[in-house]
Structure 1
Amino acid sequence: MNFLPMIGTAIFSLVLTIIFTPLFINYAHQKNVGQMIREEGPKWHEKKSGTPTMGGMVFDLAIVLTAVIVPLIMQDLGPQVLILDFILALYGFLGFFDDSIKLFKKQNEGLKAWQKLLGQIVGGVIFLVVYQHEKLPFSLNVLGFQLNVAWIYALFVLFWLIGFSNAVNLTDGIDGLVAGQATIAFGAYGIIAYVQAQYDVLIFCLAVVGALVGFFLFNKKPAKIFMGDMGSLALGGALAAVSILLHHELSLLFIGLIFVVETASVILQVISFKTTGKRIFKMSPLHHHFELSGWSEWKIDIVFWTIGLVMAVVSLWVIL
């Protein structure tokens, strides 16, 4: 695959997002549809209340359209890119319901945990059906050891999709953080896909990168729009799916280290508070701890992105 289709894929997705995001923002303002801010969150976040959310709808559509149109033009629309589109769309759909309930009820709680989990499991099962149909290996490389137990791998895939979908969702708490970090992660996997000549996965990764760069222009501080659960749940599920299709599943622990650490901070905070009555962090997820420690959102973004970029580069160096 030469560079022209690669560049064209990213640009097409970028342009779609740049064109339609302002239209979506204007529509949200006209309908008076805005984000409800957590009452227990940092007090200075209250001024963000009313900022349009569900921006993930725009870049989800841009990604899916790009990842269908470009392969069709290249006459290479295969099951792998379609299942990636499906996971992005389904998890985005779950996020849509979650965001809609929050907006309709004017609260910060959406779908019940079991409802969201059920939808994520259904998506994971369909992913596994396609995975098996394509005769892809049900094995996991753990430090050079191949774990070839199909049912264990199937459970792992479900855990990976659900876990990282929720991890990215937890990380989406300050302007631009997830948009930037997800761009780095999908960019890294795009390079792996290129080296492996998995061009359908590469096209999808490039579509995501292009769309997120376009969305970042409106999501950077001060954000004119938030991606909402419709964006973060979709990105997390798709990121896990990409790592699985490239058979570098565990690399996501390093390429997506920021997502892992943010999730771990929530888990540790809950365990500590329930067992000792004390909190480890001023607030979780971790980015809020640094906010309450006096860091600006831009400083948190830059430090977290730098760590994510370094880990991505190191991971690529080890893998490739």
Structure 2
Amino acid sequence: MPQLQGLEHDPPDPRRSQRVIRAELATVLVWSLVALTIAALAARGAIAYAHRRGMLDQPGQRRSHTLPTPRGGGIGIVLACLIVLPGILCSLPGLWDAETIACLELALVLVAAIGWWDDHRPLRQWPRLGVQLAATALFSAALLAGGNLAWAWLPLLVLAGAWSINLHNFMDGIDALLAQQGIFVAAGLGCLAASVGQPALAGAGFTSAAACLGFWFYNRPPARIFMGDVGSGSVGFLLFALSAMLWRIEPALLWPALILGSGFVADASLTLLNRFLRGRRWYAPHREHLYQWLVRSGGTHARAAAWYLGWNLLVAAPAAVAARQHPAMALPACAVVYTVAGATWIVSKRRCMRRVPVKDRHVAT
């Protein structure tokens, strides 16, 4: 087959490569604008819907806001991603088959649906957890089957997905914080995917970040609407799914992906561990996360969110870049970042507690 052999040895055309890259960037930009617009319009509509249905988070001892605020605005992020992700994953080069994309969509619907139900009528934790485990199991099974990976990974992926859903729910307690984190981590995962030549997954990361940005416009301090369980659980699932897809492509990218989320993971994990060791109901509402202590000690929501943004930009982002560029040092770099995050959590929490009267330090058992 001389013609095929000749084609194999033809030098690449740099102009064609640039045209392809520009076309892919244009595709990502268009889908990102679509995601941002859908999320913003849906969040605006959710404000009126929440007022009609009485879906208002009231101020209280275990809450960090002072005015009744609508919830459920995260439905915009869900709708945007349900519409945009299949389009971006199918229209750009990648490794994603129809079954994996369909299971991603269905799992997102399940997580969002149980969160939307909980926003309307609070549920016990076990039904929520059961649906979350089923959703992550569905997506994880499709991911493993599509990549011909060992099924021994399934239990670990299911637990990781459920934990991501719940830790992001735990961390959704002040204005803009979770939306800001969703923008940062999703965009970072998109950059990691782009660095290994995966335009479809990169586009999925950037469009997810755009959806979070569309909601952020209505959630920035002072928030006009809260994300609600429909949004916080869905963002947690999406960040898990994007990270797992990145891991399937290149296992070494797991470490920089984990570094990107280090601020949230450290805060949620150490707070949960601290409450568990003290014999408290770890699943009960409380105000003992670091971001809540930052507010309780006199800071504003904007200042507390800026604290996490500073960590992301000054620590997590540079460390993730270093871990990507030096794969042999990725695991040690991840360990160092989480060690520093843990030490920062301990020191910062102690400083905040000294500013709060003793009688106000414990608000839940």
Q: Distance in 1 between matches of 2:275 and 2:90?
A: 47
Q: Distance in 2 between matches of 1:267 and 1:244?
A: 24
Q: Is residue 56 of structure 2 the alignment partner of residue 34 of structure 1?
A: yes
- Report 1:214-293 matches (<5 A): 214-247=214-247, 248-274=253-279, 283-293=287-297
Larger deviation: 183-192 or 245-254? Answer: 245-254
Q: Which has the higher contact order (CA 8 A, sep 6+)?
A: 1
Q: Is residue 79 of structure 2 the alignment partner of residue 66 of structure 1?
A: no
Q: Distance in 2 between matches of 1:312 and 1:85?
A: 29
**Counterpart residue number, 1:132:** 144
Question: What 5-or-longer segments of structure 2 have no aligned partner?
Answer: 1-20, 248-252, 281-285, 326-365
Question: What 5-or-longer segments of structure 1 have no aligned partner?
Answer: 102-109, 139-149, 276-281
Q: Distance in 1 between matches of 2:116 and 2:41?
A: 21
* Alpha carbons 1:179, 1:212 under 8 Å: kept: yes
- Partner of 1:174, secondary structure, is coil
* Alpha carbons 1:266, 1:284 under 8 Å: kept: yes
**Counterpart residue number, 1:93:** 113
**Counterpart residue number, 1:147:** none
**Counterpart residue number, 1:78:** 97
Percent of paired sites with the same residue: 22
Q: Distance in 2 between matches of 1:64 and 1:198?
A: 20
> 2:115 is matched by which residue type in structure 1?
G
The correspondence for 2:127, drawn from 108, 115, 118, is 115
> 2:129 is matched by which residue type in structure 1?
L
Q: CA shift at 1:173, angstroms?
A: 0.4
Kindly provide the CA deviation profile for residues 109-133 of structure 1, in whole angstroms up to 9, marking residues without a partner as x. Answer: x222221221111112211321232
> 1:299 is matched by which residue type in structure 2?
R
* Alpha carbons 2:63, 2:173 under 8 Å: kept: no
CA 1:192–1:253: 2 relative to 1, 3 Å: closer
Tell me the C-alpha RMSD between the 2 structures. 2.3
Q: Distance in 1 between matches of 2:203 and 2:51?
A: 33
* Alpha carbons 2:103, 2:139 under 8 Å: kept: yes
- Partner of 2:278, secondary structure, is helix
Larger deviation: 129-138 or 66-75? Answer: 66-75
CA 1:207–1:81: 2 relative to 1, 3 Å: farther
Q: Distance in 1 between matches of 2:71 and 2:44?
A: 12
**Counterpart residue number, 2:43:** 21
* Alpha carbons 1:170, 1:262 under 8 Å: kept: no
Q: Distance in 2 between matches of 1:37 and 1:95?
A: 21
Q: With structure 2 as the length reference, what TM-score do the two structures score?
A: 0.73
**Counterpart residue number, 2:199:** 199
Kindly provide the CA deviation profile for residues 128-170 of structure 1, in whole angstroms up to 9, marking residues without a partner as x. Answer: 32123213434xxxxxxxxxxx42x222101110111111111
Q: CA shift at 1:295, angstroms?
A: 1.5
Kindly provide the CA deviation profile for residues 224-279 of structure 1, in whole angstroms up to 9, marking residues without a partner as x. Answer: 0111111111111111121111113344432111221221242233134329xxxx
Kindly provide the CA deviation profile for residues 30-75 of structure 1, in whole angstroms up to 9, marking residues without a partner as x. Answer: 4433224454334xx242x2x1111111111011111123455569
Q: CA shift at 1:183, angstroms?
A: 0.6
> 1:132 is matched by which residue type in structure 2?
L
Runs of 4+ in 1 over 6 A off after TM superposition: none
Q: How many pairs were matched up?
A: 290
